[in-house]
Structure 1
C-alpha cells in the first residue's frame, strides 16, 4: 500500500546547493495519462544544477528537481504497464515543468515510462538512462559505428556522458582520446575505455592532440560545449564532424559566426536526449543494460548519496569532483 506522504528534496528558490531542502510532501495523486513510480534511485545531472541556479526557463519554485529516475510502478493508468514493473524515465520536462526524481515517489507521464528487465542494483541502473542514451545518440549523430576505423575525441571525458561514450566506443573497437582537467582522473578514463587521455589546461588542445593523431580526429564529441565548440571545429580533420551534446560550460556560444568559424567541409551537429525518451529510448536502454550486465559497458558510478545528503551531492557535482555518475538514493 502506498504511503500518503513522502520525502523529497525540494529546490525552494534559485541559488546555491543550500536551497535544496528535504521536506515531507503528499504523495501525488494518480490522474489520467500519468503513473506513480516509487523511485529507487536517480542520477544527478548538471542541467539540474543550472535549474537550481535559476537558468532554466519555465521553472517555478518550489520544485522537486531530477530529469531522470528508476523505480517500480506503484499505480498506473497505462494498461500496458502493470504495477510492480521496473521502469526508467528521462527528460520530458521532468524536474522542470513538473516534479522529478529527487523524491520517494514521482508522478510521471505514461509516455516517459521505459519498462526495463534487469538484475542490476538500483544505484547502477540509475547511472545509465540519461547518460547512456545521450552518449549513444551523440555517437549515432557522429556516425561512429561498431568496427569503425575512425578516431574519436571526447571533450569533457570525465563527465558521466563522456565516460559512457568512451565505454561504447571501446566496445565498438573505435580508437578514442578523451580530455580531463584533472590529472588525477586519467586512470578513470583509461578504465572507461579511452586509448589516450589528454589533460586540458585551457586553450587549444592542438599540440597534445596532434602528437597522438597528427591528422586530427575524425569525430569530436564535445560535452564542454559553449567554451570549446569553435576550437573543436578546428581540431577535427578536414571533412570531419563535431557533435555538441553537452553544456558543461553553458548553453550559448558568444558571437558565433558560422561561415567564419566552421572550416569549409567540416560538419557541426548536435544531440539532445529528449530525442530518446519514452518508447524511442526503451530498446536502446534495454540493450545498454544487457551490455552492462555482460561487462561490456561500465556503469561508471562515481558516488552514491542518500536523499538527506542532496546538498553535499550538488556541491560534489558543482565542484567538478566527480569522475562519472553521481546517484542519489531516496
Structure 2
C-alpha cells in the first residue's frame, strides 16, 4: 500500500479550550535521514495533551505564564505523544527491514544521545505528534513490538503513562518487599504505577476515590485508600511502620501530609501536580530522616527499553477506558478532562 500525499491531522493553532483543536488536511511528512514514517493505528491521550493545549506548564519565574511542555509552542502543532502503528517508509541511513514492522514510538526528545539522557521535549509539543494518520520519528526511537500479544490500543497506552510510571519507579529505586503509596491510582499513570509496582513485588497502597476503588484493586493494589476520607489516618492504619516510597502525581497537600509518614531513608517521587503545584512542608522531616524528594519527568532511553521488554512479554495489561475516532478529538479530550474514567482513552485515525 502506497503512502498518500496528504493526511488528516488534528492540531492546535493557539492555547485555549477544546475549540483550539482543528481538523486539517496536511501534507504527509517525508522521513528525513535517520527517521521512520509510521502509519498510526492508535494514539492514546494524556494529561499533557490538555496542559499543552491550555498552555498550563508555566515558565521559570512565571508559573502562570501560558507555555508548552518546555517553552513556547511552534503553532500549528499536531498533538499526540503516544503512537502505535506500522512503519511504512524510512529515510536515508535507516535499515529497510524496519518497514512493515509493528512499532511503538518513544515520544521523548532527549538532551543527549546517551542511555540515561533526560527528556527535554515531547512529541505533540516540541515536534508534531500522532493525532494524525502518519507521523515521523527518529528510527532509534521506533521500537519493534511485532511479536507482542497486546492490542494496538494497549500498545499506544504505554509510552507516556507507563514510561512515566517506570521512570518514577526506577528513580525511586523501588524494590520488592517495600511498601509503596500510589496517588491518583485510577488515572493512566496511576494504574501503570500499581501494575508495575505489583509486578516488582512491592506492597501497593493505592489512593483513589468512589466508584474507581474496585478497578484499582483489580489492577493489583493490596490496599485501596479513599481520598475522600482522612488520608494520613488510612496510611497509618494500612502501614503502621510507614511507607518506603511514594509515587505521586497529585502533589499539593498530599506532600505535606505524607512526608512525615515515610520511613527512614524513604523516597517521595513527584511526576505531576493534579492537586496543586504550590507545596509547603516541614523541611525538618526531610533532613532529619534522610528522606529524598525526587522530581521525575517521563523516562530515559534505558527505561523505555525496559518498558518495551514488558510489552513484548505482555507482563502488563493496560486498561482501555474508551475509544474515539480522530475527528472527535475535542470530545475525547473533554472526556479525559472529566476524570470519570479508569484507564486510557485512545483515538483511531
Assess same fold via TM > 0.5.
Answer: yes
The structural deviation recorded for 1:113 is 1.8
Contact 2:154 2:317 survives alignment (8 Å): no
Distance 2:126 2:243 in 1: 39
Instruction: Give the equivalent residue in structure 2 for 1:71.
Output: 85
Question: Which secondary structure state, in structure 1, belongs to the residue aligned with residue 162 of structure 2?
Answer: helix
Counterpart among 118, 121, 144 of residue 115 in structure 1: 144
**CA-to-aligned-CA distance 1:241-287 (integer Å, 9 cap, x gap):** 1111233345x435x578456352111113222423xxx35531332
Identify which of 129, 132, 146 aligns with 2:159.
129
The question of whether the paired residues in 2 share the 8 Å contact of 1:177 and 1:195 is answered with yes
Alignment size in residue pairs: 318
Q: What do residues 123-162 of structure 1 show as CA deviations (whole Å, max 9, x unaligned)?
A: 12111222222222211222223xx221111011111111
Structure 1 pair 261–210 and aligned structure 2 pair: CA distance change class (3 A) = closer
TM-aligned CA deviation for residue 36 of structure 1: 1.4
- Match of residue 192 from structure 1: 219
What are structure 1's unaligned runs of at least 5 residues?
none
Aligned to 1:224: 250
The worse-fitting range, judged by mean Cα deviation, of 283-292 and 61-70 is 283-292
Quote the RMSD (CA, aligned, Å). 2.1
* Aligned twin of 2:99: 83
Query: Which residue pairs with 2:296 in the alignment?
Result: 271
Shift of 1:98: 1.8
Aligned equivalents of 1:36, 1:80: Cα separation in 2: 13
Would you say 1:305 and 2:324 are equivalent positions? yes
CA distance in 2 between counterparts of 1:38 and 1:110 reads: 14
Q: Which runs of 5+ in 2 are unaligned?
A: 57-67, 110-121
- For residues 321 and 109 of structure 1, the distance between their equivalents in structure 2, rounded to whole angstroms, comes to 35
How far apart are the structure 2 equivalents of 1:105 and 1:232?
44
After TM superposition, the runs of 4+ consecutive aligned structure 1 residues lying more than 6 A away are none
Per the alignment, in what secondary structure is the counterpart of residue 211 of structure 1? Answer: helix
8 Å Cα contact 1:178-1:196 kept in structure 2: yes
- The correspondence for 2:305, drawn from 256, 266, 283, is 283
- Give the deviation of 1:170 after TM superposition: 1.9
Cα 1:199–1:137 change in 2 (3 A) is same
Aligned to 1:210: 236
Take 1:208 and 1:231, find their aligned partners in 2: how far apart are those partners?
A: 12
Structure-2 change in CA distance of 1:119 and 1:12 (3 Å)? same
Q: How does 1:86-97 map to 2 (within 5 A)?
A: 86-89=102-105, 90-92=107-109, 93-97=122-126
Q: What secondary structure, in the 3-state scheme, does the structure 2 residue paired with 1:40 have?
A: strand
Name 1:151's counterpart in structure 2: 179
- Contact kept in structure 2, 1:233 and 1:263, CA below 8 Å: no
In the alignment, the residues of structure 2 paired with residue 188 and residue 37 of structure 1 have an alpha-carbon distance, to the nearest angstrom, of 33
C-alpha distance in 2, partners of 1:124/1:311? 21
Per the alignment, do residues 172 and 29 of structure 1 end up closer, same or farther by CA in structure 2, a change over 3 Å counting? Answer: closer
Change (3 A) 1:108 1:226: farther
1:165 aligns with 2:189: no
**Number of the residue aligned with 2:116:** none
Using the size of structure 2 for normalisation, the TM-score is 0.84
Residue aligning to 1:142: 172
